[in-house]
Amino acid sequence: MISWPSYSSHFAFFVLISIPLSSSFDSYTTCSNTFNCGGITKVGFPFWGDGRPDNCGYPELKLACSNDVTTIEIMRVKYRLLKINQDEQTLKVVRDDYYDKICSPKFGDTKLDSNLFDYVSGSSDFTLLYDCASSSLAEGFKCPDNQTYANVAAVPEVFPGTPICKSKVVVRISDPTGFGILSILNVKALEAAMKEGFEVKYKVDSRKCDECVGSKGVCGYDWNLNETVCHCPNQTSEPRTCSATRTAAINNPAAVPLPPAKGMN
């Protein structure tokens, strides 16, 4: 006959070992899945989101999927992800609020976190001026609603002598020549150039992740320690790689000694 204290200690043992093991195993399993949305497919570390939990990637590199459109938020500005090259670590993005039209922006400048991103050559900063006092600028156009005047300039500064404008937005536009698109004098042409997007390079050291993958692990991220971790198939997460001893235990789990239950000798 089993006494209550003995049963209780066995139950406590079961709870203590089952929860951590299940959690660690889920990290390996879920982070093995890739992000897939529309034309953006097979995306893994350092990105997370939409089925990949937050311990699968960098906090700043969350991807979202809606109606087959992939988006990423950078410095509180939402971008559409047009293309990704994980070998080169580059993203081609376009501001979501400027993707279809430029006359109803949220008036936030295009900025990058310099600790994580760099611009790739082939794009330039431009300034859009809204609600200007007059339409006497040499370069510019009226928005279709005939209420807002917008001007595109080759530099983010407002030139001396330009009319007073209520809003100024710095945006990034594809500019392969590097000379500035000074010939854009209508909304449609500017929207077409904006829709092309621009490239950025994300600065993530892939060497640690390569070592993890080489040891049959899956790369993840520890938000508390702010560093890459290696999720292993034997239900553990290691600082760098899945060690040979731990990896060998995958093929023979029974050989791994379990810790004694509390209250048992």
Instruction: Please write down the HEC assignment for all residues of the chain.
Output: CCCHHHHHHHHHHHHHHHHHHHHHHHHHHHHHCCEEECCEEEECCCCEECCECHHHCCCCCEEEEECCEEEEEECCEEEEEEEEECCCCEEEEEEHHHCCCCCCCCCCCCCCCCCCEEECCCEEEEEEEEEECCCCCCCCEECCCCCCEEEEECCCCCCCCCCCEEEEEEEEEECCCCCCCCCCCCHHHHHHHHHCCEEEEECCCCHHHHHHHHCCCEEEEECCCCEEEEECCCCCEECCCCCHHHHHCCCCHHHCCCCCCCCCC
Asked if residue 186 and residue 79 are part of one domain, the reply reads yes
Examine the fold and report which residue of 174, 202, 230 is the final residue of a domain before the chain moves on.
Answer: 202
117 or 165: which leads in pLDDT: 117
Considering the domain architecture, whether residues 79 and 173 belong to the same structural domain is answered as yes
Residue 174 located in a structural domain: yes
Q: Copy the structure tokens of residue 22.
A: 């299940």
On whether both 171 and 265 belong to a single domain, the answer is no
Q: How many domains does the chain have?
A: 2
Q: Kindly report, residue by residue over 38-58, the tens digit of the pLDDT.
A: 999 999 999 999 989 999 999
The region that residue 75 occupies, defined by phi over 0 for left and psi between -120 and 50 for alpha, beta otherwise, is: left
Mean pLDDT of 138-155: 56
pLDDT tens digits for range 212-249: 999 999 999 999 989 999 999 888 889 989 975 454 44
Cβ within 8 Å of residue 27, ≥6 positions away: 53, 55, 56, 218, 220, 231, 237
Structural domain range at position 232:
205-265
> How does residue 263 score in pLDDT terms, banded at 50, 70 and 90?
very low
- 219 plus 187 within the same structural domain: no
Same-domain pairing of 85 and 117: yes
27 within a domain of the structure (yes/no):
no
* Residue the block writes with tokens 């093929």: 251
Return the percentage of the chain with pLDDT > 70, whole number: 63
The rounded distance, in Å, linking the Cα atoms of 63 and 112 is 16
The predicted model gives 114-135 an average pLDDT of 80
Q: In this structure, are 222 and 243 located in the same domain?
A: yes
- 109 and 209 part of one domain: no
Select from 233, 184, 187 the least CA-distant residue to 213.
233
Nearest residue to 91 (alpha-carbon basis) of 81, 100, 101, 99? 81
Task: Decide if 255 is inside a domain.
Answer: yes
Inter-residue contact 158 to 168 (CB < 8 Å): yes
pLDDT given for residue 247 in this prediction: 45
Q: Are residues 259 and 189 in the same domain?
A: no
Tens-place pLDDT, residues 168-218: 788 888 876 665 555 555 667 777 888 889 999 999 988 999 999 999 999
User: Where residue 122 falls among pLDDT bands split at 50, 70, 90?
Assistant: confident
Residue with tokens 């203590």: 16
Tell me the pLDDT of the chain averaged across its residues.
75
